[in-house]
Structure 1
Amino acid sequence: MTGAVLAVDQGTSGTKALVICPERGVIGTGFAAVRPRHLPGGLVEVDPGELYGSVVDAGRRALAEAGEPVTALGLANQGETVLAWDPGTGRPLTDALVWQDRRAQGVCDELAPHAEELRQLTGLPLDPYFAAPKMAWIRRHLTREGVVTTTDAWLVHRLTGAFVTDAATAGRTQLLDLDRAQWSPRALDLFGLSGERLPEVVDAAHPVGTTTAFGPEIPLTGLVVDQQAALLAQRVTAAGAAKCTYGTGAFLLAHTGDTPRRGDSGLVSCVAWRLGGRTSYCLDGQVYTAASAVRWLTDLGVLSDASDLDAVGGTVPDSGGVSFVPSLAGLAAPWWRGDVRGSLTGLGLDTTAGHLVRALCEGLAAQVAELADAAAADLGTPLRTLRVDGGLTRSALLMQTQADLLQRPVEVSALPDATALGAGALARLGAGAATTLEQALPDGKPSAVYEPRVTADEAAERRARFRAEVAALLERTPA
């Protein structure tokens, strides 16, 4: 079997679908927007029907453009977004609570005495970002009916009738025993979810079932969470390298081999993927707002759209003393303070749009540099390079700022849709169209490499200023 595959990346703000041919590369693309609702108090929710509709629409568009049949389907999902649904009919019983949603903070506060036990058991800190607190909140406040799962299990059920999730997505719930890659009865008990019917945990490359949602019958053979799909596509398959995806948020993952690393840096230890029954692990650090912070500047009229970053930022040589901590949805790793809001300081009558853009790029790059340092500390060795992908990597200003603050080369992926390409590689592997992971992966040559242009001393000074701004924010927002 050597034919093309359909790869679908169901993300926060839209679904991207690619038809990927092993010889000719991407031969069809489709996109369908998703519009989450951002409500007061840090609530973010989306209509599940819109998620499923976007998967079908994007997939059909990609197939129509390709104009040829596919042999398998791979699906990547947004991870920690959850809903309750009827397993008999597939009908949603609630809206989907998006990964950014903070309403389950009260659940986390109650479980604070068990935070360290849960971190040791699952690799994850106690935070409403993850699925289990939101699942518990749904059970307490919305419905006791049906099942409550991450969105991938619902989408797969709608597509094929199967009730499964892959090990990497299961690892984002805070209900998975990290060492055994199986559901943890203790974690379920702590969250008040004992007795819940949970999906079967399966390999990332594995025949799950077939779907006719896109027209012809297609076997679903690849299943994975979004950031791990991008890690795979970036060929970070062994310890020592890391990738960062700049999407709605920014997500840095570093491979740790076949054992989980539970360090003290504030990063998350989680499953990278499970293939052939063998589990690989990674460290994961998050910046909650990246492209969503750029969108915020756009909504304020500072930019007309994200493609303006370089043009507007290029009107000034630096940030003019403006500092921006873009924690507009809270601070994630390594601080884990979702209650902290962003700050914009150093403003003057001479502050221009260019200064704001420069300050945003500096704030994003500084947060990612903090994550890279934390990963290096947990691994016990510096990261040699950072491989990057996602829409914001088109900004030369942001990527150069990243290389400067990191003091390491930044390799920009030539693959703009790394998450979908990772899902496609798993689909090929699961369908038997590739015999090894290496054979299934796309070519890994970067489209650009940014080298640091400032001295280590200047980088250290700029990062120290950023840390001081974060410290001031934390002081103003007692835990």
Structure 2
Amino acid sequence: MRYIITVDQSTSATKAVLFNEHCQLVCRKNVAHKQYYPQPGWVEHDAEEIYNNMVEAIREVVKTVDDAEASYSLAITNQRETAVVWNRFTGKPVYNAVVWQCQRGAAICNELRERGYTDLIRERSGLLIDPYFAASGVKWILDNVQGARQAADNGELLMGTIDTWLVWKLTGGKEHVTDYTNASRTMLFNIHTLDWDDELLNLLTIPRNMMAKPMPCDSVFGETTVEGVFDEPIVIAGMLGDSHGALAGQMCFEAGMGKATYGTGSSVMVNIGENAVAAPEGLVTSVGFAAKGKIFYAFEGNIHCTGATIKWMTDNLHLIESPAEIEKFALEVPDNGGVYMVPAFAGLGAPWWNSQAKAMICGMTLATEKGHICRAALEAIAYQIKDLIDLMTKQAGITLKELRVDGGPTKNQLLMQFQADMLDACINRSDIEEASAMGAMIMNGLARKVWKDMDEVAALRTSDNRIFPTMSRDERERLYAGWTEAIHTVNR
């Protein structure tokens, strides 16, 4: 049996997921790592701990295979914008990894905006100027860690996102590489030329000799024994950032296909095809994935509160005893009764971008019941997804073919039907476990020529759970107008 081990290195843990040659998930091992908060708003990880945890997780899943003749290969998907800077000679990081959540680069980003570089950076990288992306974290390390700037100027330091760090360590420092998706989340990568942009590097004062070689997702990135777990080196093939992994894992291989992950918040990504169209205000354009000689671009936006809204109703209001109860109460009323909830608990994210906005429930009367509020909370999730997707498809000049969804809230039938109705498009609820890992595994198989093209991969999708819209256009427009009015009230 041939196995693919996919490393899913996330913000909170490192997971090794073992797939067999039939793309079936065999087992997984999860190892959490420590979060460091040295100052308010700062978030760090120990890059060496992450590497050691990955080795442990791989060792544990291999132990479950009782087959001396089994062969293996390795794929990687990872938290995207987290940055590591290390010494190329000692192999030691000069500082902890600066995590994508970290705000220490805010002053650097503000200065770039004030100097008028917003349009240039957006045009070249597809991104907003924000400490969320890796560049400001790297610049902060070079400017603030004693000796780092001098060492960088002397050519002694390397940088990379977590994928780059893991491959460099796995190959004993032989391979300093990344893939196009991770590179496109640094604010240093030109998504049109598919290379590091010298002007952006100069703006951030990051020497080009620190940068990894960017490659397509379906590349072979090196060989490794994983610190002796394997007697002979195995190939590292297939790599992409976690959200991009989910896009590929959901097999959104055509323009107009999108994925939405419903978690605490929601990540929405739509394949816009092979042209890097400028994203709408407040959203970003990234490389969606690169495989079989083609580059597919994607629009992406993130919503702060989706599942978190239901958790708030459970933990704070005690309106329901568990998230699973919300659908039962929402079905006790025929409609929302004119009640709308705008869950701006952490401000409004894309496409409204108002960090000062506060949450609101409006439209209540003496006839309002628990069911109306429960329904309004669920509907708010669907409205926010619609806000983003309408903006994306209009800007790209495409029609949404299908939205493939995953995450806990997708078990809620009322929510999924309302989502289909609001988008006037098919919702395809996935039973794929570990969508990001599946995407990396697909890229691994393409790199090793297990499958000849995307069509052959798409045929592997064994089950579909499609939900089709049933609502009339007039009803959809009436309900959405109420949401728009509520948003504008909050957004004043």
| TM band (smaller chain) | 0.7 to 0.9
Q: Distance in 2 between matches of 1:67 and 1:356?
A: 53
State the shift of 1:64 in Å.
3.5
State the shift of 1:176 in Å.
0.8
Q: Distance in 2 between matches of 1:188 and 1:251?
A: 28
State the shift of 1:119 in Å.
0.9
State the shift of 1:201 in Å.
0.7
Counterparts of 1:7-156 in structure 2, within 5 Å, are 7-23=6-22, 25-33=24-32, 36=35, 42-68=41-67, 69-112=70-113, 113-142=116-145, 145=148, 146-156=157-167
Task: Check conservation: 1:27, 1:65, Cα contact below 8 A.
Answer: no
Amino acid at match of 2:219: H
Larger Cα-atom Rg: 2
- Which residue is equivalent to 1:406? 423
**Normalised TM-score (structure 1):** 0.85
Are residues 212 and 182 of structure 1, via their aligned partners in 2, closer, same or farther at CA, if it must alter by over 3 Å? same
For the aligned residue pairs, the C-alpha RMSD in angstroms reads 3.4
Task: Check conservation: 1:265, 1:374, Cα contact below 8 A.
Answer: no
State the shift of 1:304 in Å.
6.5
State the shift of 1:203 in Å.
1.9
Q: Distance in 2 between matches of 1:213 and 1:137?
A: 31
State the shift of 1:446 in Å.
4.7
Are residues 279 and 355 of structure 1, via their aligned partners in 2, closer, same or farther at CA, if it must alter by over 3 Å? same
Q: 2:297 aligns with which of 281, 284, 291?
A: 281
Query: What secondary structure sits across from 1:223 in the alignment?
Result: strand
**Normalised TM-score (structure 2):** 0.83
Are residues 191 and 321 of structure 1, via their aligned partners in 2, closer, same or farther at CA, if it must alter by over 3 Å? farther
- Which residue is equivalent to 1:443? 460
Query: What secondary structure sits across from 1:452 in the alignment?
Result: coil
- Which residue is equivalent to 1:191? 204
- Which residue is equivalent to 1:268? 284
Identity %: 31
Question: 358-367 or 413-422: which moved more?
Answer: 358-367
Question: 142-151 or 291-300: which moved more?
Answer: 291-300
1:73-121: CA deviations, max 9, x gaps? 1111121122333333443443333323334332222112111111111
Are residues 461 and 28 of structure 1, via their aligned partners in 2, closer, same or farther at CA, if it must alter by over 3 Å? same
Query: What secondary structure sits across from 1:239 in the alignment?
Result: coil
Q: Distance in 2 between matches of 1:348 and 1:163?
A: 62
Amino acid at match of 1:449: R
- Which residue is equivalent to 1:157? 168
Q: Distance in 1 between matches of 2:49 and 2:337?
A: 43
Are residues 210 and 110 of structure 1, via their aligned partners in 2, closer, same or farther at CA, if it must alter by over 3 Å? same
Q: Distance in 2 between matches of 1:306 and 1:67?
A: 40
Instruction: Give 5+ residue unaligned stretches, structure 2.
Output: 149-156
Question: 148-157 or 218-227: which moved more?
Answer: 148-157
State the shift of 1:254 in Å.
2.0
Q: 1:182 aligns with which of 195, 215, 221?
A: 195
- Which residue is equivalent to 1:364? 381
- Which residue is equivalent to 1:417? 434
State the shift of 1:166 in Å.
0.3
Instruction: Give 5+ residue unaligned stretches, structure 1.
Output: none
Are residues 412 and 57 of structure 1, via their aligned partners in 2, closer, same or farther at CA, if it must alter by over 3 Å? farther
Amino acid at match of 2:160: T
Q: Distance in 2 between matches of 1:134 and 1:72?
A: 32
Are residues 459 and 207 of structure 1, via their aligned partners in 2, closer, same or farther at CA, if it must alter by over 3 Å? same
Task: Check conservation: 1:254, 1:284, Cα contact below 8 A.
Answer: yes
1:439-476: CA deviations, max 9, x gaps? 3457235542223354333433443343344434443x
Question: Is structure 2 residue 185 aligned with structure 1 residue 172?
Answer: yes
Question: Is structure 2 residue 406 aligned with structure 1 residue 389?
Answer: yes
